[in-house]
Chain A
Amino acid sequence: MQELIIIIITAALLSNVVLSQFLGICSFLGVSTKTDVALGMGGAVVFVITVASAVAFGLYQILELLKLQYLDTIVFILVIACLVQIVESFFKKYVPALYRALGVYLPLITTNCAVLGVALTNVQNNYNFWQSVACGFGTAMGYLIAIVILAGIRERNAANDVPAPFKGSPIVMITACLMAIAFFGFANLSI
């Protein structure tokens, strides 16, 4: 059990999917306008990545059996697309406000490099089932932490007098750059 916690913490902080591995940036920059929307997006990503890691592990066992490892990308991405569509219809029915707020960015989770990236790295590190789920959950928490922090900063940024050309996406990217450098601090934190 202790080993799983280490995996979760390393996935969330040490090699944060957004700020160290630099995957899933499109939705990270796109959705982080308000903290509650970011929280909603983070929640959706936590669900999708965790379940996707579990399902991907199962599928990979079958692929290994049939010696079709090269099919891992296509099979994983199919599963992720299906999961995202389920989450999308679930949100549309039960949390319509959040569904409208996330709008186009919900299907973008499917194209979110983080989700496929995690599934593929789980396979590369040949984790067992619980390790895969732990790594998936940790990575998703890392994504959630990063996106909520950025959303908080962006909300405060709206009030600051940013120089005119830097308004909009440039200031967001500079914020992300500073966060990424800050997360370097975690890089040599060994547990």
Chain B
Amino acid sequence: MDIKKILKDTAVLLVITVVSGLLLGLAYEITAPVIAANQEEEKAASYRGVFTDAASFASREDLLEQAAGVMADNGITNVSVTDVMEAQDASGAVIGYALSLSTNGYGGELVIAYGYGVDGTSMGIDILVSSESSGLGSRASEPEFKDQFAGKAVDSFSYVRSGASAENEINAITGATVTTEAVTNAVNAGIIFGRYCAQNG
């Protein structure tokens, strides 16, 4: 049991791991605030994109807690609300809610930002996180598909292969029906939760 060799090996490994821990700790502390700022700014940008005429946003943690309950009551299992922001106009009056909705798309997690006006109109959507296959599902973030949800006061959306006529119908992305369905389900869940927030906001 040649202790000396074992201790020597462990000492070398200890020195390397301590130095590595130090480096990582420092790096994390320096970059953490920058990363947090980036994420905050990114979220605000997407909400502004979804809620053009909102002047400011206030985070509503209380509504966020109730989100899971509301989803369960309406039998929605594949969509979860990950963030609730109250949209206010210049005078501070509540004009709607900006929600982050997470669901599973074709390639994995799909998170969209959705704006719901207190008068029941869907202000629009934006794709925050998507791992859809490039060229197909990823075309969901193109205006041609996204803007179909903007400015419509409907209870729910449904998609058709092409030639959407009714107000609550949208055209699916060719070759990416799974992605289209995921986005549509998320928006419909957003409408239900948005109406809930408007009623007891």
Contacts and interface: CB of A to CB of B under 8 A. Distances in A.
- Asked whether the complex places CB atoms of A and B closer than 8 A, the reply is yes
Interface of A: 70-71, 74, 78
Contact of A70 (B17, B20, B24): B24
A74 B24 CA distance: 10
B28 interface: yes
B28 A74 contact: no
Contacts of A71: 21, 24
B28 to A, nearest CB: 5
A96 to B, nearest CB: 23
Contacts of B17: 78
B14 to A, nearest CB: 12
A88 to B, nearest CB: 15
A91 B17 CA distance: 27
Contacts of A70: 24, 28
Nearest to A188: B178
7 contacts: A70-B24, A70-B28, A71-B21, A71-B24, A74-B20, A74-B24, A78-B17
Contacts of B28: 70
B13 to A, nearest CB: 9
Nearest to B28: A70
B33 to A, nearest CB: 14
A58 B28 CA distance: 22
A78 B20 CA distance: 12
B2 to A, nearest CB: 15
A109 to B, nearest CB: 19
A22 to B, nearest CB: 12
B48 to A, nearest CB: 29
